[in-house]
A and B are shown apart, each in its own frame.
Chain A
Amino acid sequence: MKRHSRGLRISAVLVLAFASVMTMGNAQAARTDITVGMQLEPPNLDPTGAAAAAIDEVVYANVFEGLTRFGSNGSVNPALASEWSVSDDGKTYTFTLQEGVKFHDGADFTAEDVKFSLDRARGETSTNAQKQLFANIDSVNVIDDHTVEIALVARDGNLLFNLAWGDAIMVDEATIDDAAIMPVGTGPFTFANWVQGDKIELAKNPNYWGVPAKLDKVVFKFISDPTAAFAATMSGDVDTFPVFPAPENLAQFDADPRFSVLLGSTEGETILSINNQLAPLDDVRVRKAIAHAIDRSAIIDGAMFGYGTPIGSHFAPHNPAYIDLTANSQFDPALSKKLLAEAGLADGFTTTLKLPPPSYARRGGEIIAAQLREVGINVEISNLEWAQWLEQVFRGKDYGLTIVSHTEPMDINIYAKPSYYFQYDNMSFQALMAAFNTQTDPARRTVMLQQAQTIISEDYVNGFLFQLAKTGVANAKIKGLWKNSPTQANDMTGVYWED
């Protein structure tokens, strides 16, 4: 017993000595650079002129900032606007801007820049991909250098939220034309270098107005192939892959102490969209039959290797207003067959399933096709690229079924647009959303959101599948990465290496 404890003591001393050597070594080598893996390369770096998520994933909060910004939990926080006040009628917002803010080229950031940025985004020749965010703005008025007033057409509970989007960032008139290849913002990192097809480098902004970044250098490396992504992360060529493209490999990372797997939520409601105007899918019984024919757990297991949360409506489970409606569409093939028979389709029918490129759609599509076949619905799959999908499905509405993840935050209002690609036309839902948009009382807003979730769930507008999980992998020593993904961004401002 005694001998035993001595042995233990010796080993404890050794461990301590070893540990102190380790920490010393690490303290010397405390890294201040990071390589972030991304699957898609941004086409350009101007978030106000294109929809590609990859643009925001590089520049949002790092290079460009807006008046407000999203926090990692989805909250809307002050950014370039330090505070704001709202008039009693809710139609005028007055923003106080941070003082001493400079663009990376040394130009001062003032209220004039706010006016320019917002007027440009909502102007006639604007090519902003989310122009609808600014539709309710009546005018932007400069009060003084650090005060700006936004007048609205109608009361709007969403303004602060809308201004936090990457499409609403503040730009400088003098440099915006070159932002596609040479972005100049106010953020804690400056754009340094872009090797097209390979990587983008950002450097720390020494003159940042706020809390300076802890990293000196951020490299975004583009690896589209999941196998290559796996190998690059395993070998340490990439320090973190915030959205790891192959869920099948996550278990291997989880088992390895060098890595941490960051599982979080995204705003991506992954749905089997149904063309609500196309017979026989215009019959609610048929849509209900489809909903009950789908086994969500098989899809999450087969397509996502278990990562994803089942949803029963078009709403993110991590949102406080979420209600679980999955019971409305339990897996019940017998009920499906009965419903089809009631709709006069006892022998089943044939429809198309058009799938965009992401693997959740391609794999999920094969599984859903097999499940629908079980209840007699014959599905013809065609795999499309995004451009074809936009043309045929989204604009042309030439489809029966499709699978897509709607990654915009809080987008249940798309069900209020009858011209939207799934063509759901429900007057009472539209009225509810109109009332919601002008409602500013938080408690009332929550109730209305819950009503909205229930309506579309019970109308079986679409097959609601699962909330896309954020499956990130990182070196276990990296701290401060976003776990969730309230917007598509890789906010590097608070990231550091642990000693």
Chain B
Amino acid sequence: MLHYLIKRLTSLVLTLLVASVVLFVTIEIVPGDPASFMLGINAQAETLEALRTELGLDKSKPQRYWQWLTGMLQGDFGKSYTYKTPVAAMIGERMWISLPLTLFALLISTLIAFPAGIYAASRRGRIGDAAVTGMTQLGVAIPNFWFAMLLVSFFAIKLGWFSSGGFIGWDQGLLVGLKSLLLPAIALALPQAAILTRVTRSSLLDVLSEDYMRTARAKGMSKRSAIWRHGLRNAMIPVLTILGLQFSFLLAGAIIIEKVFYLPGLGLLVFQSIAQRDLIVVESVVMLLVFAVVLVTFLVDLAYAWVDPRLRTRS
């Protein structure tokens, strides 16, 4: 196990290192100069030069890469060019929207997917199953930004039940905050719920056909309690894997939904920073997201290895 752990850890560090180089190079070749964006159309050449010096953009690229990398290792993500505040603080602030939004969306999608998936599996081949499966087909096919637009135009503009965008802030109370995250969370959750329902249903069906389930049924256990007592626990592994992947996907993938609802989360921060050529912010946030994905994958692998010792020796 220790050998396996060291091997996986080395590969994790290497992946991150390569990712940081790829990221830095990609972003540095993005045309457009942060200084000229900030100073606009009347800026003079010498003024631009002065600002570049102030921002540290006059240093060589390897120098700046090294500075960025070593800074990040010490928890210093640099200082935003346009906002002039530390990037770490900005990420921290945006996290307070992105993280709750992601968790909220996952909660909603789980609350829909588990009952729906279990229901469909228990009525396999019947009308109920077909209805759930049909709904998941629709859920996967609907573009979430369009769904979000429809939600806004109906619940926010027509009925006026919700605000159509923006975030009021947690200082107004937990419920108020959650309310302004509800529509975006639903828009995000719908396609995820559809996927999760399908995974729950199919992995439950797989488990139901296993021998021990047949034994349980043969011993006189009802179908329902067989599902609850034995089926669910064993069907959970693939479901949890998908959930883990969805988490990191949602953290960054919320960008379009954040744009529709104008939620100042991480995705919108990156989007704006690219437009403003605030390169240091883009680099650091994307690196953080990459780290999150790599870490989740690593933990999932680790969990599998724990469960299934054969995996440790193979590869």
Contact = CB atoms under 8 A, between A and B. Distances in A.
A230 interface: yes
Interface in B51-67: 51, 53-54
Interface string A25-47: 00000000000000000011010
B34 to A, nearest CB: 8
B83 A128 contact: no
B43 interface: yes
Is the interface on chain A under 10, 10 to 19, 20 to 34, or 35 or more residues? Answer: 35 or more
Interface stretch (B4-12, B15-23, B157-165, B247-255): B157-165
Contacts of A127: 39, 47, 50-51, 54
Given A43-B83, A51-B43, A132-B44, A228 B54 contact: no
Contacts of B71: none
A227 B164 contact: yes
Contacts of A196: 83, 85, 90, 93, 264
Nearest to B97: A197
Contact of B157 (A43, A227, A237): A227
Judged by DSSP, the binding face of A is: loop
A387 B264 contact: no
A395 interface: yes
A388 B37 CA distance: 9
Contacts, number: 143
Interface stretch (A108-116, A184-192, A218-226, A330-338): A218-226
Contacts of A43: 38, 82-84, 276
Contacts of B90: 196
A387 B42 contact: no
A129 B169 contact: no
A387 B32 contact: yes
A227 B37 contact: no
Is the interface on chain B under 10, 10 to 19, 20 to 34, or 35 or more residues? Answer: 35 or more
A51 B38 contact: yes
Contacts of B38: 43, 49-52, 129
A51 B39 CA distance: 5
A235 B163 contact: yes
A131 interface: yes
B82 A237 contact: no
Contact of B164 (A195, A228, A386): A228
A130 B44 CA distance: 8
A50 B163 contact: no
Contact of B165 (A44, A124, A227): A227
Contacts of B166: 198, 221-223, 228, 232
Nearest to B39: A129
Given A129-B47, A232-B163, A387 B277 contact: yes
